[in-house]
Chains A and B, each alone.
Chain A
Amino acid sequence: MAIEIPKSLDQLPTTRPRYVGRGIRRVEDVGLLTGRVEFVDDVVLPRMLHCAILRSPLPHARITGVDTQAAEALEGVTAVVTGEDARRWSLPAQSSPEGWGTHCIAGDKVHYVGEPVAAVAASSRRVAEDALELIEVDYEPFEAVADPFEAMKPESPRVLDAQETNVMLDRVFTWGDVDGAFADAAHVFQEKFRWNRLGANPTETFGCISEWDPMSLDLTIHGSIQSPGMFGLGRAATFGLPSNKVNIISHPHGGSFGGKGGTRGCDISCLLSRKVGGRPVKWIEDRGEYLLSGGGQAWDRHYEVALALDAQGIVTGLKVGLVDDLGATGEAYGAISAAKPLAAFTGPYTIPVAQYDLKLVATNKLPCGPYRGMGPPPHFFVLEQMMDIAARSLGEDPAEFRRKNFIPADQFPYTIPSGNEYDSGNYGEVLDQVLALSDYSAMRAAQAEARAEGRLVGVGVASAIEPGVFDWNAYAIVGMPGTGVPEGATVNIDILGNATVRVGFSLEGQGQYTLITQLVADYFGYEPEDVRVVQLDTQSAPPSFGPGGSRLGVAITGAVLGACERIREKMARVVAVLMQSEAENIEFMDGKFMLKGAPGAEMTVAEVAGTMLARSDLLPPDIDPRPEATHVWTAAGRTPADEQGRAKSYLTAAHAVHIVQVEIDAETGMVEIQRYCLADDCGTRLNPDTVEGQTEGSVVQGIGAALLEEYVYDEGAQPLTTSFMDYLMPTVFDAPKIEMVAVVTPSPFTPLGAKGCGEGAIHTTPAAVMCAINDALAPLGTSAREVPASPMRLWKLISEARNRASDESNDD
């Protein structure tokens, strides 16, 4: 039976939603605030051992010997594993592109600093670290390559022995007559940009406890795992196990942002567990390990971009050349970040044709992984700088220049050249709202005054799309097969009418358990206290991907409402029997089943559930007497990618315009963000507090990206930013007050019209901050093309521009 999932709030079976669409006290908070929520490092299992990992200090070297004897002899040490154990019991990691994975512990050769070479299981982490110091590894160093342009040269040292080259992928994707557009253009602008590697850095690093029974080969892993289902399949593949042998118990975790990673360390703890007869082995990645070799380092990119415009200033073509330095292997799926821009390649604009010249390159650095936004944030940084370069050169206001290139509101659904379809939008309205909020013209007037005083004040306007509700087909160009990302929920009503919802993902911060509570409360006419959300391990949970790809809010809404619908249907049949009528005559509203045309003939959900559970003798024989249903939601209408990567991939397209004012201290290069305003449209806001929270957090991560965060490697591929003293994340002093306003254009394709919004502002913020910086620099005739815009980089640009200017005036 096809299930109809409400497409808008007014289709919910309630006179007026009391919870969905507003902020409520989060159900997650009390446990988190009192410390009762159990993070993985809080778990202690009987006979548990602690793992520490020895890591390569060299970026590229042959391993000629590993001596573990002294470590094994240390009191408190139970086992040591090396590359030999990894080769015996596991396979090289799966990778994207395929064939670029290695074993979790290095065998003959290390490929980057921080790569595991051995590991210890001991009575405590302290003792395990003592043992690491006793392991002797002999290395024969090789020349390392840290620069992707060097790595592409035939004479470059080769990163992986198994590959003939360091080029993982080299392809040009062309969508439409791009050459024609550039040939016919009235204006062409071209620029190079650099986006430096940065990363997720959740406050909790990755951690796990693995139990791998060497006899049954059953593998159980507790962990802080973002996508438990995927993680379990990955372990099964790595260990050559049937997928039903692996059970993942994900614990609530301290953020992820794509950066939980941890697969290597987890696999190592599994090997250790197997070696010690299946005892639980805990590995908690410490911050040093995280910064050196953890998950979520991303986007080490070199861009060359060109924009074609017609005489009216309408953009007619876009070419993006990207050399993406993915680090040593493809194991962490950094390549996906290069593919995802296809879902929104031309941003919010009507650009009809586009080209993507994509090179994925291996170097002797940590393999890149996912980070919030998964690739479009740098793409929009370059696109928006190009839009400003064009507007400035044509003498147009950047806001109005964008407006005239926006996809008009009446053209949705709109298919972009790279193949994805945007569901809905009203970009002009979003722009109007933020112009009003910021009092844009007053901002410009104030800027003019400041400039007259010689101050470097700039206003940035940037606009971007947040692709929401990912599907695998978006990543077809880097070898990800298939479509369909399921999310399931089981809703159960107990004998007293209370609801329990079972899901397959754990708390990560976005408040999905609260959202589920709101949905069920409104659906059944309940109070939030009547609803409980519990998480199951992967062997019992409904199919689940979990958070990621700005997807879970929409997907879990579909799953929960689907399950509620199924229960309603079942209950309506029960009520019909009890009232001696037909199911079509039973209406459901505000928590009550009512017989049409018979006032007073009604039953509450609790009454129906009670009857079903206590009196199955009264029920029709073909009905399952449990007031329970599971629904698994996937996005409909996703299409396989064609040979140019084109597909209907991400289901929703949220939109935002940000306006930022900055001032640069010309002498020091320090940037102060003086105002931060934004308007965004992510469709129906299921919980506006949550959306605002995601937005605020994402803005500040975006500011980190624009101004602070960078994993620095030296020319020899040695990482230099291995503590929080050097990898700089924003603090409250870097976070401006964020003024925001919402526009709501529901999605026609999703449950309740909501769009993906979890990744949020990071799509727009780095672009907006950089636009503002470049606006500030414009009078000097210079501009910043590298992210982050550190004070040193800005000072250099400013002083070079001033020196040029004084040289010129001397020449006069």
Chain B
Amino acid sequence: MASESPQQGGIRLKVRVNGEHHESVVDPRMNLADYLREELRLTATHVGCEHGVCGICNVLVDGQAVRSCLMLAVQVDGKEVRTVEGLAEGGKLHPIQEAFIEEHGLQCGFCTGGFMMALCELFDRNPSPSEAEIKEVVGGQICRCTGYNAILRSAQNAAAKMSASRS
């Protein structure tokens, strides 16, 4: 627990990640991306720039997409984190993952997790987003392979899949 007075060395942290409870002692300067990757060995969160521009390291914290390179691990104390590892459930791909396969929405796949997590938040807030709303979310990130056309198609396909499964 982050305390009321400054702490030397490690800080104790309790967090749920993809539904699993974790307790760790971390160096305050360790960012969330490094915590997930190094401490929890959840390496699906990739790191692209470490200064917040590329969006590849997006994860959900309490349902909101954030850059995990711009958050300290200690700041997720008491929170719920979701990463790419938490997308597929029960041996089944998430509809967003299915959509990216169907629309050829990835090539090297390094950045894709960041897009999927940001889209996850979007679809939670807004099950049937317009193209402009999708663009606003996709536009926060860099993909060097696809030229984005296929990512937009994937996002639209995913939205359609998710609203079909809701109704």
Contacts and interface: CB of A to CB of B under 8 A. Distances in A.
B139 to A, nearest CB: 5
B100 A732 contact: no
B46 A204 contact: yes
B113 A737 contact: no
Main secondary structure of the interface of A (DSSP, over half): loop
Contacts of A701: 144, 147
Interface in B105-162: 106-113, 116, 135, 138-152
A681 interface: no
B22 interface: no
B107 A255 contact: yes
Nearest to B97: A33
Nearest to A687: B104
A487 interface: no
B20 to A, nearest CB: 15
Given A35-B84, A39-B46, A204 B110 contact: yes
Contact of A693 (B38, B101, B135, B146): B146
A35 B49 CA distance: 18
Contacts, number: 173
A26 B104 contact: yes
A130 to B, nearest CB: 10
A57 interface: no
Nearest to A32: B109
B47 interface: yes
B108 A35 contact: no
Given A33-B100, A33-B112, A735 B144 contact: no
A203 B101 contact: no
Given A35-B85, A255-B144, A28 B27 contact: no
The contact size tier of chain A is 35 or more
Interface in A19-65: 23, 25-26, 28-30, 32-39, 41-42, 44
Interface in A650-694: 689-690, 692-694
B106 A33 contact: yes
A693 B37 contact: no
A245 B148 CA distance: 43
A584 interface: no
Given A29-B101, A34-B44, A203 B56 contact: yes
Nearest to A740: B149
B147 A738 contact: yes
Given A254-B46, A287-B51, A693 B144 contact: no
A30 B107 CA distance: 12
Interface stretch (A95-103, A591-599, A723-731): A723-731
A690 B48 CA distance: 24
A30 B110 contact: no
B85, B110, B151 pick with most chain A CB within 10 angstroms: B110
A283 to B, nearest CB: 14
A451 interface: no
B144 A697 contact: yes
Contact of A254 (B37, B104, B109): B109
B53 A724 contact: yes
Contacts of A35: 42-45, 83-85, 113
Contacts of B97: 30, 33-34
B87 interface: yes
B80 interface: no
Nearest to B53: A724
Contact of B149 (A38, A257, A738): A738
B29 interface: yes
Nearest to B149: A696
A203 B50 contact: no
Interface stretch (A85-93, A332-340, A508-516, A638-646): A508-516
B54 interface: yes
Interface in B39-98: 41-51, 53-54, 56, 83-85, 87-88, 93, 97
Contacts of A352: none
A89 B106 CA distance: 41
A735 B148 contact: yes
Nearest to A286: B50
A697 B49 contact: no
Contact of B107 (A288, A511, A733): A511
A709 to B, nearest CB: 11
Which 3 pairs, one residue from A and one from B, show the smallest C-beta to C-beta distance? A35-B44, A254-B110, A32-B109
Given A202-B110, A254-B48, A287-B49, 20 more contacts: A30-B93, A34-B85, A36-B44, A126-B30, A200-B144, A254-B46, A254-B111, A287-B48, A288-B50, A510-B107, A693-B145, A693-B150, A700-B147, A701-B147, A723-B49, A731-B138, A731-B140, A731-B141, A731-B148, A738-B149
10 contacts: A29-B109, A32-B112, A41-B37, A252-B108, A255-B145, A287-B49, A287-B51, A693-B146, A732-B148, A737-B149
